């Protein structure tokens, strides 16, 4: 079974890696990594491949940055050519980035003219196209101003198999009218990567190199357009962070979008000159996770960090009005937070006791194994 694993941007690589490694063990599976090139900097892409022990992408589309339509269109055009040439049996897309929806659109509309019976899978041969599976299906923020929400809705409407991380994902899909037999709860694949690399993460000393003491610093990441694309919002956030770092040192690996905007809005010197606020380049997976494992709290707008901190029992303040991962609030350690409340919320965490990590069902490092079993049964 020829299986394309689509990856594009930083949070995708940890979702594809466990599946690639698990499929590689199976004689019937031929996993092929397709990198669309949405993220291309060494520290946004290559270093993740190294950490996650992935080979060089077998196919690289090299699309780069652009507006949403440009990026989505370029991925569709480039991937359609690959689909026609390679004719995979199955395309697995992950997460909610532009490349996820672009590859789903290309794969569900392609028509293999020369092949009447795609090999490997029992169905649906009637379409003469690959099956499409979405890993991390069903998540909804119910906020259509987020580009990712549009990507999730379209991807889930089109994919043939919907692999969800949590019960809310199943409920959202059923409510949208998705047939129950398409939905399968497989768990959280990010936790597979975390567990796969736990030894390397724990033996790293990234925090020491920054003169940080375990349990006595915070990790900050920010890249969502709602937080970083307007000078007003980014300025308020910077002022809040410079206040907080007087109470607790913060390490802030800066995403390229955020750095560009800090420079553009003339805010970079405000943050870089603050004692206690350590600005660093984006870090590779193992070093970054080492910082997270040892921190007192996280301040973020990332989806993955809400999940990883919940799994690890680390308080997380999410600078958003909503989350597509509500289980991290109801069962994890995550809280939504407004910028104006950030300093107070940080003080509350610093004065409180550390929460206990709670077990979330199927967040156990075995998601890739469950997916392999599903695919085996469909052969």
Quick one: which segment of 53-61, 126-134, 181-189, 254-262 binds ligand UD1 (CB under 6 A)? 254-262
Q: How far is the CB of 11 from ligand UD1 (least distance, A)?
A: 5
Choosing from 1, 6, 9, 368, the residue that interacts with ligand UD1 (CB under 6 A) is 9
Nearer of residues 44 and 292 to ligand UD1, judged by Cβ:
44
Quick one: which segment of 8-16, 194-202, 270-278, 330-338 binds ligand UD1 (CB under 6 A)? 8-16
70 binds ligand UD1 (CB under 6 A): no
47 binds ligand UD1 (CB under 6 A): no
In whole angstroms, give the CA distance from residue 98 to residue 69.
Answer: 9
Contacts of 89 (CB under 8 A, 6+ apart): 1, 2, 3, 118, 119, 120, 121, 130, 131
Count of residues engaged in binding ligand UD1, rule: CB under 6 A: 19
134 binds ligand UD1 (CB under 6 A): no
Q: Do 1 and 30 contact (CB within 8 A), yes or no?
A: yes
Quick one: which segment of 170-178, 213-221, 255-263, 309-317 binds ligand UD1 (CB under 6 A)? 255-263
Hey, which residues between 83 and 102 contact ligand UD1 (CB under 6 A)?
96-98
The catalytic site residues sit at: 223
147 binds ligand UD1 (CB under 6 A): yes
Q: How far is the CB of 359 from ligand UD1 (least distance, A)?
A: 26
40 binds ligand UD1 (CB under 6 A): yes
Nearer of residues 148 and 170 to ligand UD1, judged by Cβ:
148
38 binds ligand UD1 (CB under 6 A): yes
Quick one: which segment of 82-90, 251-259, 323-331, 349-357 binds ligand UD1 (CB under 6 A)? 251-259
Residues in contact with ligand UD1 by CB under 6 A are 9-11, 38-41, 44, 65, 96-98, 147-148, 223, 255-257, 260
């Amino acid at each position: 079974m020829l299986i394309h694993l689509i990856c594009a941007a930083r949070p995708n690589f940890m979702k594809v890696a466990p599946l690639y490694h698990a499929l590689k063990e199976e004689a019937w599976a031929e996993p092929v990594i397709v990198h669309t090139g949405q993220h291309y900097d060494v520290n946004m892409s290559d270093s993740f491949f190294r950490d996650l022990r992935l080979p060089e992408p077998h196919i690289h589309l090299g699309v780069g940055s652009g507006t949403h339509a440009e990026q989505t269109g370029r991925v569709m055009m480039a991937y359609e050519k690959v689909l026609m040439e390679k004719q995979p049996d199955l395309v697995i897309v992950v997460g909610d980035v532009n490349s996820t929806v672009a590859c789903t659109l290309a794969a569900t509309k392609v028509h293999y003219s020369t092949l009447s019976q795609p090999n490997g899978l029992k169905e649906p041969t009637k379409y003469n196209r690959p099956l499409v599976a979405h890993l991390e299906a069903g998540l909804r923020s119910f906020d259509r101003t987020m580009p990712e929400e549009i990507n999730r809705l379209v991807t889930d409407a089109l994919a043939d198999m919907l692999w969800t991380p949590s019960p809310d994902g199943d409920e959202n899909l059923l409510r949208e009218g998705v047939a129950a037999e398409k939905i399968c709860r497989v768990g959280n694949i990010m936790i597979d990567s975390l567990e796969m690399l736990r030894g390397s993460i724990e033996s790293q000393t990234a925090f020491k190199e920054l003169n940080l003491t375990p349990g006595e610093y915070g990790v900050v990441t920010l890249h969502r357009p709602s937080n970083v694309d307007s000078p007003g919002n980014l300025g308020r956030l910077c002022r809040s962070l410079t206040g907080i770092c007087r109470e607790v040192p913060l390490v802030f690996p800066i995403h390229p979008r955020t750095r560009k905007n800090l420079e553009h809005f003339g805010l970079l010197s405000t943050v870089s000159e603050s004692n206690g606020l350590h600005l660093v380049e984006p870090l590779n997976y193992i070093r970054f996770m080492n910082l997270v494992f040892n921190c007192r709290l996280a301040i973020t707008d990332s989806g993955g960090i809400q999940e990883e901190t919940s799994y690890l029992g680390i308080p997380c303040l999410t600078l958003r009005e909503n989350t597509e991962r509500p289980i991290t609030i109801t069962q994890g350690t995550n809280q939504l937070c407004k910028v104006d409340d950030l300093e107070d919320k940080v003080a509350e965490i610093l004065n409180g006791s550390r929460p206990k990590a709670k077990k979330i069902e199927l967040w156990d490092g075995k998601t890739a194994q469950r997916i392999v079993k599903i695919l085996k049964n469909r052969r």
